[in-house]
């Protein structure tokens, strides 16, 4: 029997065998026998190599046709059998429609959302409104107008995702200050600006390339550094418990002058010294300062007449401290085993 006849026989046998099948349980065996990796078709195909160059194309073509015919017949038979089985099941089995359904877990707010809501609440009590600004920003708002020109080394403080030469994913919530000032002039301002920020950073247990910040901005007449410090003290007490100790350190940000960093006594060890506070007894809670005259002017406020303070704080980091979460990546991993705990 030459290979063409063998192929013909294979197709005939296969289709005849399919017709014999009565239940879907027998389908896999048929498939293995005829079309499987060690099946009859595969074995015949091995013989192709022994053919002369003249015979090979025709045999190859026939082999493909047989394969397609068997695949099609198998699909059709499978559908037919499954439909028949379903029919039988539907008419013979009983469905108890009075059984209770499986309960669907209602879910709850993400830890970050809850932390953000708490922050909003605390600042609302102090008279701060919420100002929402976009996550995609111009280079101008994110840097230039915040007193960070292109040549300035301070740009190295933020690793940036660039969308185009002039558009970035905001690296901090501070550009919202400019938008808010331009919209609010000539009225005084007291807002927080919560939202997501992005940095082109290696993702590690301590840093994500996406994270939340809450920015604060107050602009008015005779606003002083002590107003900022009082606001931070009030915030720390409400967020982390009354009687917090606070420490102010001089710092540098291009958009504030003077700039400070606000530390709070470590909530985990009560300032005794632990791994989280790196044995200093202090945790950093915010960068802040008096709004730089250049930034006020860029926002449309005359620094001779107006003054203001601003601050910026992270959201995930304090939540991590409070709940003893050791890896920031959990926040965005969507693992229910993590999310359910909070």
DSSP-assigned beta bridge partners for residue 210: 198
Residue from 11, 174, 298, 307 that binds ligand DAH (CB under 6 A)?
174
Q: Which residue is nearest to ligand DAH (CB)?
A: 312
Q: Shortest distance, CB of residue 255 to ligand DAH, whole angstroms?
A: 6
Please tell me whether residue 267 binds ligand DAH under the rule CB under 6 A.
Answer: no
* Minimum distance, C-beta of residue 311 to ligand DAH, in the bound complex (Å): 5
- Per CB under 6 A, 172 contacts ligand DAH: yes
Considering the complex, what minimum distance in angstroms separates the CB of residue 316 from ligand DAH? Answer: 13
Calpha distance 123→168 (Å, rounded): 28
The least distance separating ligand DAH from the CB of residue 289, rounded to whole angstroms, comes to 4
Residue closer to ligand DAH by CB (options 128, 311) is: 311
Among 115, 147, 184, 256, the residue binding ligand DAH under the rule CB under 6 A is 256
Instruction: Tokens for 306, please give them.
Output: 């107006």
Site for ligand DAH in 48-67 (CB under 6 A): none
Nearer to ligand DAH, 3 or 168 (CB): 168
Query: Dmax of the chain from CA atoms?
Result: 104
Q: How far is the CB of 260 from ligand DAH (least distance, A)?
A: 8
Near ligand DAH by CB under 6 A: residue from 34, 123, 212, 253: 253
Residues 281-340 that bind ligand DAH (CB under 6 A): 287-289, 310-312
**Of 194 and 289, which has the nearer Cβ to ligand DAH?**
289
Kindly state the tokens that stand for 47.
Answer: 């013989």
* Shortest reach from residue 268's CB to ligand DAH, in Å: 23
Contact, 218 vs 337, CB < 8 A? no
CB of 319 to ligand DAH, least distance (A): 17
Q: Does 254 bind ligand DAH (CB under 6 A)?
A: no
| For ligand DAH, the closer CB: 22 or 152 | 152
Q: 209, 225, 210, 219: which is closest to 259 by C-alpha? A: 225
Q: Which of 215, 263, 265, 316 binds ligand DAH (CB under 6 A)?
A: 215
Judged by the rule CB under 6 A, the positions of this chain that interact with ligand DAH are 172, 174, 215, 253, 256, 287-289, 310-312
């Amino acid at each position: 029997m030459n290979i063409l006849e063998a192929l013909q026989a294979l197709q005939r046998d296969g289709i005849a065998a399919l017709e014999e099948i009565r239940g879907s349980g027998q389908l896999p065996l048929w498939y293995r026998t005829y079309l499987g990796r060690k099946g009859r078709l595969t074995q015949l195909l091995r013989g192709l190599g022994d053919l002369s160059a003249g015979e090979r194309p025709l045999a190859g073509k026939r082999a493909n046709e047989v394969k397609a015919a068997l695949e099609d017949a198998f699909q059709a038979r499978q559908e037919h059998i499954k439909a028949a089985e379903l029919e039988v099941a539907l008419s013979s089995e009983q469905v108890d429609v009075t059984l209770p359904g499986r309960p669907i877990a209602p879910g709850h707010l993400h830890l970050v959302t809850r932390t953000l809501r708490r922050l909003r609440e605390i600042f609302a009590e102090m008279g701060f409104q919420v100002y929402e600004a976009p996550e995609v920003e111009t280079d101008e708002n994110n840097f230039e107008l915040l007193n960070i020109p292109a040549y300035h080394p301070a740009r190295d403080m933020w690793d940036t995702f660039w969308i185009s030469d002039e558009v970035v994913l905001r690296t901090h919530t501070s550009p919202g200050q400019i938008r808010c000032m331009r919209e609010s002039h000539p009225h005084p301002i007291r807002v927080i600006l919560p939202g997501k920020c992005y940095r082109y950073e290696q993702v590690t247990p301590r840093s994500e390339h996406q994270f939340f910040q809450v920015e604060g901005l107050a602009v008015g007449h005779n606003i002083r550094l002590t107003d900022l410090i009082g606001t931070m003290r009030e915030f720390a007490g409400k967020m982390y418990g009354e009687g917090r100790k606070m420490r102010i350190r001089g710092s540098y940000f291009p958009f504030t002058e003077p700039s400070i960093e606000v530390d709070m006594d470590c909530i985990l060890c009560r300032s005794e010294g632990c791994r989280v506070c790196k044995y200093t007894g202090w945790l950093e809670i915010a960068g802040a300062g008096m709004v730089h005259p250049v930034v006020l002017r860029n926002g449309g406020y005359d620094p001779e007449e107006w003054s203001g303070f601003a601050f910026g704080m992270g959201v995930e980091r304090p939540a991590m401290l409070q709940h003893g979460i050791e890896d920031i990546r959990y926040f965005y991993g969507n693992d229910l085993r993590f999310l359910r705990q909070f």
